[in-house]
Structure 1
Amino acid sequence: MTRPLTDVDIHRLESEKVSRNFGLDFKLLYPWDGMNAPFRGAWCVLRPGDLSEAHSHDQDEIVICMTGRGILLTEGEKIDMNAGDIVFLKAGNEHAMTNELTEDFSYYSIWWNQGMATDYLDAAE
């Protein structure tokens, strides 16, 4: 349950409300009513054996690794990611993620670009 937006608005993790998209379990975190931000975000879970779809986009992205371990596949490299790591992906970088272990790998993904910043500033006026 979400309270009306005041100075603090908490959206609780709702594991049962994820969708299967892009080869992983996914839940958009932003936007929600009453919030304006210059970014978008999602909570993502790679289940054991999952491989996300390879993609690139025109947004910079930060991946905040929350639980478990995963592998970032980018530019022919396999890079280990562990709970507590923060990974920056520059716009245009083609990437995918996989979970080769037996426990879930969960992370928050936050992405932004100049267009989102402009929309944010326009809405704030």
Structure 2
Amino acid sequence: MELRGLDRQNLKHENGLDAQRLVPWPALNAPFEGSWCVIRPGTASTPHAHHEYEIFIAVKGEAFLESQGERTPFVTGDIVHFPPGIEHRVVNESGEDFEMYSVWWDLEMTEKFAARHGERAS
């Protein structure tokens, strides 16, 4: 077993939120990447779209998702999927941190995973 810990004191501020990329790491053969994200009270992530597929998993708190002209509550236990090219952001209007985990993947990551998997099986 190998554990990769979250360093809450040294999250990197990017895209309007504080984050730590936890995946990839060398010991894990995964077809995706992922990041722990904290949206501070009264702030929002930067609106963006990208070529990857992405899911957000709400871990703690309450926020809103804004995408395609819609605004939807996003609370602990919820999960949302964004296809490639869809602009989105998370807005935290509460008085507490909103915490979530973001996972994204694309064809290139999947192909690299398949190649690594084949090498390990040999």
Per the normalisation by structure 2, the TM-score is 0.91
Corresponding position of 1:5: none
Deviation at 1:17, TM superposition (A): 2.1
Q: 2:23 aligns with which of 21, 24, 30?
A: 30
Structure 1 runs of 4+ off > 2 angstroms? none
Corresponding position of 1:48: 41
Mapping of residues 1-125 of structure 1, within 5 Å: 8-124=1-117, 125=119
Deviation at 1:88, TM superposition (A): 1.2
Matches of 2:99 and 2:114, distance apart in 1: 31
Q: Count residues with an aligned counterpart.
A: 118
Matches of 1:76 and 1:60, distance apart in 2: 19
Alpha-carbon deviations, 1:1-31, whole Å to 9, x = none? xxxxxxx222222211210000000110111
Alpha-carbon deviations, 1:45-97, whole Å to 9, x = none? 00001111111111111111000011111011111100011111111111111
SS of the aligned residue for 2:110 comes to: helix
Matches of 1:50 and 1:58, distance apart in 2: 25
Q: Percent identity?
A: 39
Matches of 2:43 and 2:3, distance apart in 1: 29
SS of the aligned residue for 2:57 comes to: strand
Q: Give structure 2 stretches of 5+ with no counterpart.
A: none
Q: Which amino acid aligns with 2:28?
A: M
Deviation at 1:115, TM superposition (A): 0.9
Per the normalisation by structure 1, the TM-score is 0.89
Corresponding position of 1:4: none
Matches of 2:52 and 2:17, distance apart in 1: 20
